[in-house]
Structure 1
Amino acid sequence: MGKIYATESDKHRSAKASPSTVKFLLDYSKALEITEANGLQFESNLN
């Protein structure tokens, strides 16, 4: 029964991203525009 419970070694570690990766993702999310029309979603990149 003890094998089905998580142990301390099974915990996950947080991923660390570089500042350039974070900046890229934030800039991309700011440039992404999602438009909905008649139940459809259209994604466009404004760059």
Structure 2
Amino acid sequence: MAKIYSKKNAIKTQMKPSKEVVSFLLNYSKSLHIIKVADKSFEIIAN
């Protein structure tokens, strides 16, 4: 079993996100607001 796992870890693949994905994630994080009231938190996405 150890040989199987070590062979899988030896292969490295670099994943590069597209510009659209990066832009989407940045815009989403900018519009997300978290409001904490007492012991609860509310997530609001302002579009």
Aligned to 1:4: 2
TM-score for both structures, normalised by structure 1: 0.71
1:4-43 CA distances to partner (integer Å, 9 max, x unpaired)? 3634xx2253432101100000000000000000110100
SS of the counterpart of 1:29? helix
Structure having the larger proportion of residues in helix:
2
TM-score for both structures, normalised by structure 2: 0.71
Q: C-alpha distance in 1, partners of 2:38/2:29?
A: 24
Task: Work out the percentage of aligned pairs sharing the same amino acid.
Answer: 33
Q: Which stretches in structure 2 are left out of the alignment for 5+ residues?
A: none
Distance verdict in 2 for CA 1:39–1:17, change over 3 Å: same
Q: Which stretches in structure 1 are left out of the alignment for 5+ residues?
A: none
Over the aligned positions, Cα root-mean-square deviation in angstroms equals 1.6
